[in-house]
A and B are shown apart, each in its own frame.
Chain A
Amino acid sequence: TQSSWTLSGLENIASMVVDAISAPPAGLTQDFNQEVLTGTTIMAVAFDGGVIIGADSRTSSGSYVANRVTDKLTQINDTIFCCRSGSAADTQAIADYVKYYLSMHAVELGEQPEVRTAASIFQQLCYNNRDNLMAGIICAGWDKVNGGSVYTIPLGGMCVKQPFSIGGSGSTYVYGFCDANYKEKMSREECERFVKHAIALAIARDGSSGGVIRMAIIDKSGVERKVTLGNEVPRFYEGN
């Protein structure tokens, strides 16, 4: 941010004033120029033998829902996925790069890379380009060395391994639920329930999250994808 006393600072203020004058009253038009965002709820939980990841399916462009059936769970390799939140363009580009780098690395290595390696590549991209990106990513998957792992790479480009992780705008509404209900050594079914309920609650409260609940269960045999359609999304207290 520049000082308002420099020449370019004054130009900034001038352009702000021009925009304000020429803009139509808010609410009468849709803001198609706002960046397409995945205002989102994403989540990943590790269990013994794999991970379960989940996300909502709403992509918003301002208040317009650009895509109500988005797939925010992106495959990186056979047993590694990422959950994308933030700018759709940024996260798609980053995921494409990671997919490419990881596939080259797997050829050199001669075997499937670890989830930690994929997370490290995400981190390199997100940290080194932090000024130009808006990407909150959860990298999760299974590898034969560590079993199921979850790594969270939020906005600034830090990378930290967690037993479970939540992200996106909707996650703020379910921190309490997750902290209260997470237990260590949950079974696969318990994890599934945990993820589905958390995302359902987030969708209920967050305007930028909605649509269907997409889940993927990743273990050594590969990936099983599940979709919970709108009418089957768990419902909680909704008043009388």
Chain B
Amino acid sequence: MSSIGTGYDQSSVTYSPDGRTFQVEYAGKAVDNSGTAVGLAVKDGLVFGIEKVIVSKLWEADSNRRLATVDKHIGMAVAGLVADGRQLVNRARKEASGYRSFYSQPIPSKILCDRVSGFMQVYTLYSHVRPFGVSAIFGAYDRDGPRLWMVEPSGVSFGYYGVAVGKGRQAAKTEIEKLKLSELTVEEAIKEVARIIYATHDEIKEKEFELELSYISDASNREHRLVEKDVLENAVNLAKAAMEEDSDDE
């Protein structure tokens, strides 16, 4: 899948003979090598989950959070270069705030998606800046229902029912496709996301990780909330138990 772009990959502003912009593709590799991020749009809301790889035991828990709230009603999960992700979240917050200021309405997730996509795309046009090394998964429980979006480093975006990026994305996608998303509730989805992230975490190759979980549902008044501590612990326990079951089945 990977090809060498020798000669055509030095800067963002160079096309290869077969029409590829390698710098943008390499930015995508930064995303592919980061901890998994998962987003699900289910019957009564959305759930976001992140496998936050812990590089050092000296880190405080909760540092380098990769889940963020944009305005009150939008949740954003970033995969890739965390610092780039933070800048993206800041930009998204400015867009949401400006929109609310002018139109007296919370920004619909579709419009925020267009804004974030446009913003990321700009950084693929010039040689003196580099593309964002981030894929951002975000969504809101809009008036018409839950909507989930993902923007890639190229600025391309799609709407999703379920999405996974990062190291464990292949395995995670397989798991997600097994789920009947339109019938799941947020409560159930929280447990599923926890299970998927634990299941796709490579015990041997990878270090310790911390699970970040958040949700948007009617219970939270359609606002983005981090999953409460006790619910999180319960989901983690269930996930660990599921893994042991799997390893027992031979």
In the complex, which residues of chain B have a beta carbon less than 8 angstroms from the beta carbon of A114?
Answer: 105
Minimum CB distance partner of A102 in chain B? B103
The answer to whether B111 and A117 have CB atoms under 8 Å apart is no
The answer to whether A109 and B104 have CB atoms under 8 Å apart is no
Interface of B is mostly: helix
The answer to whether B103 and A117 have CB atoms under 8 Å apart is yes
A98-130 residues at the B interface, CB under 8 angstroms = 105, 108-110, 113-114, 116-117, 119-121, 124
A117 to B110, CA, bound (A): 17
Number of residue pairs A-B, CB distance < 8 angstroms: 23
In the complex, which residues of chain B have a beta carbon less than 8 angstroms from the beta carbon of A117?
Answer: 103-105
B59 to chain A, nearest CB (A): 41
The answer to whether B110 and A116 have CB atoms under 8 Å apart is no
The answer to whether A120 and B111 have CB atoms under 8 Å apart is no
The answer to whether B102 and A116 have CB atoms under 8 Å apart is no
The answer to whether B114 and A120 have CB atoms under 8 Å apart is no
Instruction: Give the interface size bracket for B toward A.
Output: 10 to 19
Minimum CB distance partner of A108 in chain B? B111
The answer to whether A109 and B108 have CB atoms under 8 Å apart is yes
Instruction: Give the interface size bracket for A toward B.
Output: 10 to 19
Interface centre among A108, A110, A113, A119 (most CB of B within 10 A): A108
B13-31 residues at the A interface, CB under 8 angstroms = none
In the complex, which residues of chain B have a beta carbon less than 8 angstroms from the beta carbon of A124?
Answer: 101-102
In the complex, which residues of chain B have a beta carbon less than 8 angstroms from the beta carbon of A120?
Answer: 102-105
In the complex, which residues of chain A have a beta carbon less than 8 angstroms from the beta carbon of B143?
Answer: 145
Interface centre among B104, B114, B143 (most CB of A within 10 A): B104
Q: What 1/0 mask marks residues of chain A from 84 to 110 whose CB sits below 8 Å from any chain B CB? A: 000000000000000000000100111
Q: What 1/0 mask marks residues of chain B from 98 to 123 whose CB sits below 8 Å from any chain A CB? A: 00011111001011001000000000
A41 to B143, CA, bound (A): 38
A112-161 residues at the B interface, CB under 8 angstroms = 113-114, 116-117, 119-121, 124, 145
The answer to whether A119 and B110 have CB atoms under 8 Å apart is no
The answer to whether A110 and B102 have CB atoms under 8 Å apart is no
A110 to B105, CA, bound (A): 15
Minimum CB distance partner of B101 in chain A? A124
B87-104 residues at the A interface, CB under 8 angstroms = 101-104
A145 to B108, CA, bound (A): 15
Minimum CB distance partner of A151 in chain B? B104
4 new A-B contacts at CB < 8 Å, known A108-B114, A109-B111, A121-B103: A108-B111, A110-B110, A120-B104, A120-B105
Instruction: List residues of A whose CB falls within 8 A of some B CB.
Output: 105, 108-110, 113-114, 116-117, 119-121, 124, 145
List of 6 A-B pairs having minimum Cβ-Cβ separation, nearest first: A120-B104, A117-B103, A116-B104, A120-B103, A108-B111, A124-B102
